[in-house]
Amino acid sequence: MRDRSFAPSRILIYLVVTLFAAAYLAPLVIVVLNSLRTNEEIAQSSMIGWPQHWAWGNYALAWSGFCLAETCAGIRPYMLNSALITIPATIFSTLLGAVAGYAVSLWRFRGDNWIYGIVTLGLFLPQQMRLLPWTIVLRDIGLINTLSGLVLIHTIQGLSFTVLFCRNYYVAIPQELIRAARIDGAGFFRIFWRIILPLSSPILIVTVIWQFTHIWNEFLYGVTFTTGQQQPVTAALIALSAPVADIPKHGVQSAAVIIAALPTLLIYLFGGRYFVRGLTAGAVK
């Protein structure tokens, strides 16, 4: 039987939770509402208000008509840039992280803990600290201001997380499986491909969601290493928010922000429950 009585403590809990939810959701609500108001309406009243006319046109303009960096193609090309960076970097960093996590957890070798420690140390280094080294690397291999350069950065930086996730998932797999497979005659990659990978979907889903969200939302590297047409959408949004006309275009800008956030929002909506399930998969045997 569920407890249906409303004790005072219960009311307090709901009150606090509601307040927190409101605080977190308020910016999203304001942006969504503004994306549906005309620029004039926002300029004449305030940033907070209910749309008087549903200005769906904002979205069309933001997507393909708005002028940015001397071209008037909206944020569509930048969305494409972000996809071309995020999708390969997510795939590469997840696969490499899975192989590396499998190696350090199930194939114990001399110094394995050191390698694991050094790779995950990357989690604790501030992003700003890594800017200069990456500048030198990208310059020397000629990948400054290219999408491939950002793919490389995000693949390598992402390894810290993906190795951590995968290693912690794989340590729960019994060593005896590996031993049995070695006696059966399977080697490192065959064991990974045939035995470990089929067991990995919970952690791979977690890693993909995590990597996709982080790489898509990443701003600093995008704005530092790319300019103009090569920028990912997060960097392009800044250009969009600069005052280009007499009238601030908050409506269109809000619509652009919503479009830019859409992929990660969708990933969260459809993959969120797998994310939570995957994170706790190793905890309960």
Partner 1 sequence: MAALSIRALSKRYANLEVLKGIDLDIESGEFTVLVGPSGCGKSTLLNIVAGLDRASDGTIEIGGRVVNDVPPKDRDIAMVFQSYALYPSMTVRQNITFGMECRGIAKAEQEKALANVARLLQIEPLLARKPSQLSGGQRQRVAMGRALVRDPLLFLFDEPLSNLDAKLRVEMRMEIKRLHQRIGATIIYVTHDQIEAMTMATRIAVMHRGVVQQFADPDTIYRYPANLFVARFMGSPPMNTMPARLEADAGGPVVVIGAGRPDEVRLRLQGYDAAASYVGREVVLGIRPECIAEGDRVFSGAVGPPVIVTAPVELVEPTGAETIVLLRLGGEPAQARISPDIRPTPGATASFALDTRRLCLFDPETERLIA
Binding positions for partner 1, rule: CB under 8 A: 174, 176-177, 179-186, 190, 194-195, 198-199
CB closer to partner 1, 182 vs 277: 182
In the chain, DSSP finds a helix count (H) and a strand count (E) of 13, 0
C-beta of 179: minimal distance to partner 1 in Å?
Answer: 5
Report in angstroms how near the CB of residue 178 gets to partner 1 at its nearest: 9
- Cβ neighbours of residue 135 under 8 Å, at least 6 residues apart? 144, 224, 225
- Treating both helix axes as pointing N-terminal to C-terminal, what angle do 76-106 and 112-121 enclose, rounded to 10 degrees? 160
Given the complex with partner 1, which of 185 and 243 has the nearer CB atom? 185
Which residue's CB is nearer to partner 1, number 40 or number 184? Answer: 184
* Local structure of 119: helix, strand or coil: helix
> Could you give phi then psi for residue 68, rounded to 5 degrees?
-145, 135
Q: At its nearest, how many Å lie between partner 1 and the CB of residue 134?
A: 39
Cβ distance to partner 1 smaller for residue 49 or 202 = 202
Q: How far is the CB of 13 from partner 1 (least distance, A)?
A: 39
d(CA 113, CA 104): 7
Instruction: Give the type of residue at 265.
Output: L
In angstroms, give the least distance from the CB of 117 to partner 1.
20
Cβ contacts of 265 within 8 Å, gap of 6 or more: none
Nearer to partner 1, 183 or 283 (CB): 183
